Amino acid sequence: MGNEQTYDLAAVRAALPILREVTYLNTGTVGLMPEPVLERHLAAQAAYERGGHVAQEAARDAYERARAAFAALINARHPDEIALTRNATDGVAILAAGLRLTPEDIVLTTTQEHPAVLLPWAAAERRGGARLRLFPISADPDETLAAFERALTPATRLVVVSHVSCETGIRLPVAEICRRCRERGILTLVDGAQSLGQFPVDVQAIGCDALTGNGHKWLGGPKGTGFLYLRRELIAQVEPMLVGDGSIQPDFDRVALGDRPAEAAWDYAPTARRFEYGTRNWHTFAALPDAINYLADLGWGAIERHCAATSTALKEQLATLPGITLHTPTSWDQSSGLVTFSYDGWTGEELSRRLWDEYRIIQRRVQVPSAVRVSCAYFTTDEDITRLMAALHELRV
Ligand SMILES: Cc1ncc(COP(=O)(O)O)c(C=O)c1O
């Protein structure tokens, strides 16, 4: 987890003014943008909106810097392997629409995936694409791997797994799953929405073919920023379903396309830019590198240690409260800053609502298991945890 560097928690919290009003334990749904990043973000919006085409080149340059920043963050070999998207769901949807799979093929995923994974593949199956099948995951990685092995068939073409489950916070053995898939010639897509920004996510170390993520959760970046990483060799296998100016090569040329554009000599761009077209929200991406740099300056090792320490402290305190069932593994290597628990006498829905309505503690309910999910982020304090525990004591039935 890196060296012993720490950061000034009070200064970090002062840059997040909402923390003066509420106990914010829901970075897993949407993160908070620190004020210095917000200033840059708003300035970039203003510059492009005021400058129009005069400011377009600068906005596009900033957009390319965001691509490079995402690429560096996940250790992609080249920014050309990154398609910039609006969110993590877009990355899944691009593959569900563009990978050439038949109704005989199987896409295998887990029972704890976000709708971002389930719905694009379910819709693809309805359109006559591959069949979507699920396998259960467990707090014990060996059990998860055994269930994964049992679910594999000769028809499995793609395995899609969360790096960290958005429901139970279980960290999946993604590198091992990808290794086993590679051995069998099965493609892999990792959903990094709940891991990116919490601990290192290295696509080369994981060995996945694709990884989707976003800027708006643990990175505290702008809403509407996401990316799809595609290993260079895979890009040509994914046909863009939405195409326009920017997604082909050579660049659009009216003369060359002539009267029969479909028959003219053009192809989709050989890079992940093939999924981007038209006038885009270039300026929305401008502050993404600022958000990443802000956290990098605090120190990735320090952030990871902080998330580990606060979530571990929370789990230890939850274990002392009668009626609590913890759904998240206790070991940091098998979990993350997400902590999910059930409380006897409460549905997740009711407990979540009461924690917000009466205690101004923002978290999220989980449907299966019926539970509440709390996010311990780089700015979470012991006092946040104490407030949550005090509320749970009061709500004991
Ligand atoms: C694991 C996981 N994947 C995907 C998403 C969807 O992310 P986005 O809203 O960026 O599409 C979420 C959001 O909560 C998530 O937790």
State the burial class of residue 104 (Cβ atoms within 10 Å of its Cβ: 0-12, 13-18, 19+): exposed
How far is ligand 1, taken at its centre, from the CA of residue 240, in Å?
22
What whole-number distance in Å separates Cα of residue 202 and Cα of residue 207? 8
88 lines ligand 1 (CB under 6 A): yes
What whole-number distance in Å separates Cα of residue 173 and Cα of residue 185? 18
- The atom number, within ligand 1, closest to the CA of 162 reads 1
Q: Tell whether the model's pLDDT for residue 2 goes beyond 60.
A: no
Pairing of strands 267-268, 248-249: antiparallel
How far is ligand 1, taken at its centre, from the CA of residue 117, in Å?
9
Q: What are the angstrom distances between the C-alpha of 292 and each of 123, 147, 198? A: 34, 36, 12
223 lines ligand 1 (CB under 6 A): no
Q: What is the pLDDT of residue 5?
A: 77
162 lines ligand 1 (CB under 6 A): yes
Q: Which of 86, 163, 166 to mutate to test the pocket of ligand 1 (most atoms within 8 A of CB)?
A: 166
How far is ligand 1, taken at its centre, from the CA of residue 264, in Å?
39
Q: What are the angstrom distances between the C-alpha of 76 and each of 70, 238, 272? A: 8, 18, 12
Percent of the chain past pLDDT 70, that is, above it, reads 99
What value does the mean pLDDT take over residues 356-372?
A: 98
Q: Which of 191, 365, 367 to mutate to test the pocket of ligand 1 (most atoms within 8 A of CB)?
A: 191
What whole-number distance in Å separates Cα of residue 131 and Cα of residue 299? 43
Fold of the 38-293 domain: Aspartate Aminotransferase; domain 2 (3.40.640)
Amino acid at 369: P
What value does the mean pLDDT take over residues 238-253?
A: 94
What value does the mean pLDDT take over residues 312-336?
A: 98
Query: Which residues share a beta bridge with 190?
Result: 161, 211
Q: What is the pLDDT of residues 204-214, one digit of tens each?
A: 999 999 999 99
With cut-offs at 50, 70 and 90, classify the pLDDT of residue 1.
Answer: low
How far is ligand 1, taken at its centre, from the CA of residue 193, in Å?
5
Residue 364's φ and ψ, nearest 5 degrees, are -140, 145
214 lines ligand 1 (CB under 6 A): yes
Q: What is the pLDDT of residue 377?
A: 98
How far is ligand 1, taken at its centre, from the CA of residue 332, in Å?
21
**H runs (alpha helix) in the chain:** 9-14, 35-51, 56-73, 88-98, 115-126, 141-151, 174-183, 203-206, 232-235, 254-257, 288-298, 300-319, 348-359, 382-394
- The atom number, within ligand 1, closest to the CA of 226 reads 10
Q: What is the pLDDT of residues 159-218, one digit of tens each?
A: 999 999 999 999 999 999 999 999 999 999 999 999 999 999 999 999 999 999 999 999
How far is ligand 1, taken at its centre, from the CA of residue 115, in Å?
8
Q: What are the angstrom distances between the C-alpha of 353 and each of 341, 366, 388? A: 15, 12, 13
CATH of the structural domain 9-33+298-394, one choice from 3.40.449.10, 3.90.1150.10, 3.30.70.560, 3.40.50.1970: 3.90.1150.10
Q: Which of 70, 189, 214 to mutate to test the pocket of ligand 1 (most atoms within 8 A of CB)?
A: 214
Summary mean pLDDT of the chain:
97
Query: Which residues share a beta bridge with 159?
Result: 108, 188
A 10 A CB-CB count for 14 gives 14
What whole-number distance in Å separates Cα of residue 266 and Cα of residue 261? 9
385 lines ligand 1 (CB under 6 A): no
How far is ligand 1, taken at its centre, from the CA of residue 262, in Å?
36
Q: What is the pLDDT of residue 194?
A: 98
Amino acid at 299: G
What whole-number distance in Å separates Cα of residue 340 and Cα of residue 363? 10
Q: Which of 26, 29, 86, 89 to mutate to test the pocket of ligand 1 (most atoms within 8 A of CB)?
A: 89
167 lines ligand 1 (CB under 6 A): no
Three-state helix/strand/coil letters over 231-250: CHHHHCCECCCCCCCCCEEC
Q: Tell whether the model's pLDDT for residue 4 goes beyond 80.
A: no
Q: Tell whether the model's pLDDT for residue 3 goes beyond 70.
A: no
- Closest-CA residue, ligand 1 atom 7, reads 88
Helix-helix angle 88-98:115-126, to 10 degrees: 20
Q: What are the sequence ranges of the domains in the chain?
A: 9-33+298-394, 38-293
Question: Residues 63, 378, 75, 147: is their CA dihedral positive or negative?
Answer: negative
110 lines ligand 1 (CB under 6 A): no
How far is ligand 1, taken at its centre, from the CA of residue 118, in Å?
11
- Closest-CA residue, ligand 1 atom 16, reads 166
Q: What is the pLDDT of residue 57?
A: 96
Q: What is the pLDDT of residues 84-138, one digit of tens each?
A: 999 999 999 999 999 999 999 999 999 999 999 999 999 999 999 999 999 999 9
- Closest-CA residue, ligand 1 atom 13, reads 29
A 10 A CB-CB count for 39 gives 13
